[in-house]
Chain A
């Protein structure tokens, strides 16, 4: 009987806790403080898409208790301790707030007295965002890798699932690295990723058909690395890279990743043909991307003239790592003949390195990442997002988006109203996806971090979100199907001087 009583009390407490979480009451007596509350993630003044998952946050300072309220008209959500709205309540709230603001009040109790911070607003944009985001989850390590997953997350809820996990094929010394997932026009049924080392190869899935491609060939310097799907052709352009890394003894950047060689190749998915499209000896070409009309290829390239007295190219690069500056180029492309035109300089930074060009779906803006030097900006604390208006040629740093820390990998939403980008602003090391809205004039709103069910999740999570890519839906393939494919032999590519029509 005694045990039963305690069991009931325990269960009752649990139920109460659940009910109390978001049915708390606002304090009636409090002091006003004309300061914004310190909350994590920082959602003060952000703009969010109408279809985003509930924004959760916690107080980022010591307090006995916190109570917060989301309010639009008569609809309000009040939560205690952590702001974790129920998804149905949140939907009701955002629907009512579409095109308007959600008012946010935060109260904190210190030494028994409540404080009401300066209220702030969250703007709900009627522009929706592609509902799924895929990324690689990887610890921000340097050489080692063990468990890696390419995962996908529904942005309208907190649902997350594995697209492929390298442990399905890799084991101990037969480890497998996976990277560079990419989609044709946000289509989750048309995707590709690479597996390296054990059972290595490039996996290409296209409308339910899958194949493994062995892209290594004597005529190219490596298998394909950074991909760019043509918007409609079954054609992928890759950079091929010999990538190395070295470590700083004292610099805060800690590591420098560099290519000792790199070129651009084009791969025809149906014919398994591959050809070089840029392979100058004195240039390091990387990060290709297509314009939405499929008629221009953008990429970055750095001039590097080898010192003949230094035998190893990696040694040569290390000696000049801080003078490696990548500029942005483009080449015309004829989808009929599959011929590329000559290269044309688009952007040359003064003593800086511009990488990862990405063209907005309307073809107007060129978004890229810029840092002092080098090719791998995710490890450069000074890396920021920049944008060029291709109509006017004006280039500007995105001050409204950037932080004092790294901003690097970025991509546009399919409707061109949002960007998602990687940032290390939280702690300088662990990359998190951030989203920002762009208006017609090309101005961005204050970015917001990917919402999570528990607002503390990203602070506890020991992996980075690598290569955030938006998708129109979830990838429909089973991880085991990818594993089975990878365990088999790949199709070898045929090198051609020019892709056949």
Chain B
């Protein structure tokens, strides 16, 4: 047991950090990658200046710098954990936390972790840049400032009240513009802490009042004379994420409030670990530690004291709280994994992810999967081989496919105008992100707007991890003729044959795309024509199906009909009693399958949908027959 006793006080926190890092990398690798895609750091003076026009701008700037490392999730996690380790070390030093209370230093870390892992679909719309690091760096800065304050209180013995008040004032005056709410937090914490650090009540009162007034008034001063781009509603909460979509979602602020509570407890509750007034640091505990001679597990805990057990309990409670808020929606994670695969043009990877699907998928998943099948030339034969569905995104607010994958889908299906527009609107509303600049550059390239593409690529060149991609894409702007033969864009060039129309998508990306495909009877490209045919299957529009199939067959008579087209032709032909159906190029397997489907569905005629579905899905879930009769999706995407 002696060995246990000799374990350094940081062992448990370090082990916990290793565990957190492993969990993040195992379960949230795609999410971490997405965090940096939905963020932006540019290595330019203009970017720095633009960040500094708001209170806390420096905190955003430095946080976005760290966030970019999530491009390689393990690097980002390593940096995040390094910050958390620094935070714990500062907590220990600042509040002189002894070994038995060391587990509590993990509590703020877990609360900070919650603010990241509970993000979910907010990742698409959070306006705070560098979100994953802002709270961590801000909190660390708060503790660092408190440490400096304590050192000042304990070591500087002349003009104490004046110096301490000045320090509090400077903390606020510099902390607010640099760190936003965290600068104010540090000021207020000093105003509270001084009552425990300072014996003289009048001095404590003076310093405390300095803190309270500066935290209350300086933001107003900055609002009035410095920051013209901040609403007064935001001046005291600058650099807190805003969980607002038509209404405020208060529950997401709870981890921040618990963080505040943690600091209030540490600052206010007298305990054995707190520093003594006027620098009389407690040493007896250390001596006691040295003197202890624990030999059994029970005596170890006894030796460590009740405090250790309490801190372990608190830590456990926080860990449970963290787990309960960890966002683990299956569809959200599938969507992210698919987006990451598409970013790497790993179309097989998208299908691998689709195979893992358990729950009913969102339309974003279905669309990305169909895109992958289309890119691999297998959509016509396999698109009903995967789980279908239209589950709503598991978010407390209304978020649709257009918000998550709208620009991706528009771009890959050859509608650069709408892809560009969507990213422009998102950039304006939610702030610029890597992903937006990428899709705006890509859309401009395939749209022949090379000068515009170079603008966005020029910005991406200022990033650490996307500059190589930008360099690669610049070549397309110099040699647009190579677009049609490139592996990444060739498919898209086949899709750019839509009729020009003055219209709008009403935020329904799938419906809009399908109707545009159906409405375009272009016959110059087999890939475009096949996509138009698949769109008629989606719309279950028999008239348009025949029109497109007629064009397709006439234009490409030697092409074999994809299986799902055969199924649709057989189904619609039978429904309409077409006599030549036997002469159509439909395989025997498809005909036999349809016959079985027909017989079976007649057997279940009149029964509940659930019963019919249970009977038909195992055998026919991978056919268009099943899709036609059994899937009814509201047009919400």
Contact = CB atoms under 8 A, between A and B. Distances in A.
A454 B499 CA distance: 43
A254 B501 contact: no
B455 interface: yes
A250 B421 contact: no
Contacts of A147: 229
A142 B455 contact: no
B449 A428 contact: yes
Interface in B378-426: 415, 417-418, 420-421, 424-426
Given A139-B428, A171-B233, A480-B224, A246 B504 contact: yes
Interface in B512-564: 516
Contact of A247 (B432, B459, B502): B502
B500 A249 contact: yes
Interface string A227-253: 000000000000000000011111110
B45 A248 contact: no
A462 B45 CA distance: 14
Nearest to A151: B228
A486 B472 CA distance: 49
Contacts of B242: 172
Nearest to B423: A141
Contact of B229 (A167, A254, A454): A167
Interface centre among B228, B234, B504 (most CB of A within 10 A): B228
Contacts of B500: 248-251
A428 B447 CA distance: 12
Interface string A101-144: 00000000000000000000000000000000000000111111
Given A139-B424, A173-B246, A246-B504, A462 B432 contact: yes
A250 B498 contact: yes
Contacts of B234: 171
B417 A171 contact: no
Interface residues of A, number: 44
A248 B502 contact: yes
A164 B505 CA distance: 33
B458 interface: yes
Interface centre among A168, A172, A457 (most CB of B within 10 A): A172
Contacts of B496: 250
A167 B230 contact: yes
A146 B455 CA distance: 22
Nearest to A425: B451
Given A167-B230, A171-B231, A459-B458, A141 B451 contact: no
Nearest to B244: A172
A429 interface: yes
A168 B427 CA distance: 20
A427 B502 contact: no
A318 interface: yes
A234 to B, nearest CB: 29
B122 to A, nearest CB: 14
Contacts of B459: 460, 462
Contact of A142 (B47, B425, B447): B425
Interface string A248-269: 1111101110000000000000
Contacts of B455: 427, 429-430, 459
B503 A247 contact: yes
A313 to B, nearest CB: 15
A165 interface: yes
Interface string B444-462: 0001110110110011000
B46 interface: yes
A426 interface: yes
Interface centre among B242, B415, B428, B496 (most CB of A within 10 A): B428
A145 interface: yes
A474 interface: no
A172 to B, nearest CB: 5
Contacts of B417: 247-251, 254
A71 B427 CA distance: 43
Nearest to B247: A173
Contact of A454 (B46, B244, B420, B454): B46
Contacts of A149: 228-229
A138 to B, nearest CB: 9
A310 to B, nearest CB: 15
A361 interface: no
B44 interface: yes
Contact of A141 (B425, B452, B458): B425
B428 A145 contact: yes
Nearest to A429: B452
A73 to B, nearest CB: 34
B228 A168 contact: yes
A352 interface: no
Contacts of A140: 424
B429 interface: yes
A431 B162 CA distance: 53
Contacts of B415: 249-250
B424 A252 contact: no
A144 B452 contact: no
Given A460-B44, A460-B458, A462-B432, A254 B420 contact: yes
A162 interface: yes
B503 A249 contact: yes
Contact of A246 (B230, B232, B432, B502): B502
B235 to A, nearest CB: 11
A462 B46 CA distance: 11
A385 B579 CA distance: 64
Interface string A412-444: 000000000000001111100000000000000
A167 B242 CA distance: 15
Contacts of B44: 460
A461 interface: yes
Nearest to B421: A142
B428 A141 contact: yes
A480 B47 CA distance: 26
B146 to A, nearest CB: 27
Contacts of B46: 454, 457, 460-461
Contacts of B499: 249-250
A256 B502 CA distance: 8
Contacts of B231: 167-171
B618 to A, nearest CB: 41
A477 interface: no
Interface string A475-495: 000011000000000000000
A402 B425 CA distance: 29
A162 B227 CA distance: 10
Interface in B225-281: 228-234, 242, 244, 246
Interface centre among B44, B246, B501 (most CB of A within 10 A): B501
Nearest to A461: B46
A443 to B, nearest CB: 28
A252 B443 CA distance: 11
A249 B425 contact: no
Interface string B461-503: 0000000000000000000000000000000000010111111
B495 to A, nearest CB: 11
Interface in B64-117: none
Nearest to A258: B502
16 contacts: A139-B424, A142-B424, A144-B426, A144-B429, A165-B228, A167-B231, A168-B228, A246-B502, A247-B503, A249-B498, A250-B417, A250-B499, A254-B417, A426-B451, A429-B452, A454-B46
Interface of B: 42, 44-47, 224, 228-234, 242, 244, 246, 415, 417-418, 420-421, 424-429, 432, 447-449, 451-452, 454-455, 458-459, 496, 498-505, 516
Can you list the 6 inter-chain pairs with the closest CB atoms, starting with the nearest? A141-B428, A144-B425, A171-B231, A250-B500, A427-B451, A144-B429
Given A145-B428, A247-B503, 14 more contacts: A142-B424, A147-B229, A162-B229, A168-B231, A246-B504, A247-B417, A250-B415, A254-B421, A256-B502, A428-B451, A429-B452, A460-B42, A460-B458, A480-B228
Interface of A: 139-147, 149, 162, 165, 167-173, 246-252, 254-256, 318, 321, 426-430, 454, 457, 459-462, 479-480
